[in-house]
Amino acid sequence: MPIMVYDTLPAVDFLQNKNISVMTYSQNSTEMIKISPLKILILNLMPNKIEAENQFLRLLANSPLQINIQLLRIDNHKSKNTPAEHINKFYDNFDDIKDDYFSGLLVTGAPLGLLNFSEVLFWPEINRILRWAKKHVTSILFICWAVQAALNIFYKIPKKTRKFKLSGIYQHHTMNQNALLTRGFDPTFLAPHSRYADFPTDIIRQHTDLEILVESNEVGAYLFTSPDKQLVFVTGHPEYDLLTLANEYHRDCKKGLNPTIPVNYFPKNNPSLIPNISWNSHSYLLFSNWINYFIARKEISLKITS
């Protein structure tokens, strides 16, 4: 079954060209799947919002369930890398959705790793949205920087920053293969990271009730959840496309930042060569499990018991 999106959202062509099922809101009602769709809200904090939309919708569209997507903006925040026309056309303000309830909320990463929370201009709004979501959303998925923000807001864990940026494809170990979210995961798998944020496993285990499902010797905790399945934390970027890390690396080179070559990414560690993608299957499975077990199954269970 398809995801439901706005008719002229650029991701429609992107997804259809990849033979991914997608339906627009204006399509004839006879085409609609006669089941209650899941409503997923995306708070997109990435600089290039269109690219991020394409990446996340590609993964969400892999579900057999119909999913209605809404995009959320930070009120009055002007994007430097996405046309204002796009934001105004496709994104809701918080006041537009604050009285609604959603099956899922996806909060993306953001290039804010070197800023203190108090230096983030929209930190008060992040705080307001995440606290609102606890009462209005079945399950919330945090990606990269959003993980750090949520750990601070909900668990009062201070910001941890690495001395050097973590960038590359790293090996991870599945700690609990019997958990619903890791169902079908291999014992070890690869996933992308691009962050300054640090997520030591001992801090999470000692100061929260969160269960770490996947960790890495190199990058720390990768995937962990709250006991009630409402909060899901992913410290990497499973949504990244083949060339996302390459584009970030070459961008930083042009800025004179002298970035480190992403680990385990370019063939022969040569940035002039095209990398191979090695994390697709994990990414699709992670999002599929989140939708199926942490959202759909939980909502069905709530309806049965209510």
List active site positions: 144, 237, 239
Segment 3-8 long-range contacts (CB within 8 Å, at least 24 positions apart): 3/57, 3/60, 3/61, 3/63, 3/66, 3/67, 3/68, 3/69, 4/37, 4/66, 4/67, 4/68, 4/69, 5/57, 5/69, 6/89, 6/90, 8/89
Please answer whether residues 187 and 177 qualify as being in contact, where contact means their C-beta atoms are separated by less than 8 angstroms. Answer: yes
Q: Which residues contact 242 (CB under 8 A, 6 or more apart)?
A: 274, 275, 276, 277
Instruction: Consult the annotation and say whether 73 binds a ligand.
Output: no
Instruction: Consult the annotation and say whether 194 binds a ligand.
Output: yes
Please answer whether residues 148 and 195 qualify as being in contact, where contact means their C-beta atoms are separated by less than 8 angstroms. Answer: no
Question: Buried b / exposed e across 186-207, counting CB within 10 Å, b at 16+?
Answer: eeebbbbbbbbbbbebebbeee
170: helix, coil or strand? strand
48: helix, coil or strand? coil
Residue pointed to by tokens 């009462």:
135
Tokens of 241: 């496309």
Please answer whether residues 146 and 107 qualify as being in contact, where contact means their C-beta atoms are separated by less than 8 angstroms. Answer: yes
Please answer whether residues 195 and 288 qualify as being in contact, where contact means their C-beta atoms are separated by less than 8 angstroms. Answer: no
Instruction: Single out the residue of 1, 78, 96 nearest to residue 41, CA to CA.
Output: 96
The count of other CB atoms within 10 Å of the CB of residue 183 is 13
Instruction: Consult the annotation and say whether 278 binds a ligand.
Output: no
> Which residues carry a binding-site annotation for substrate?
165, 194, 251
> Which residues carry a binding-site annotation?
165, 194, 251
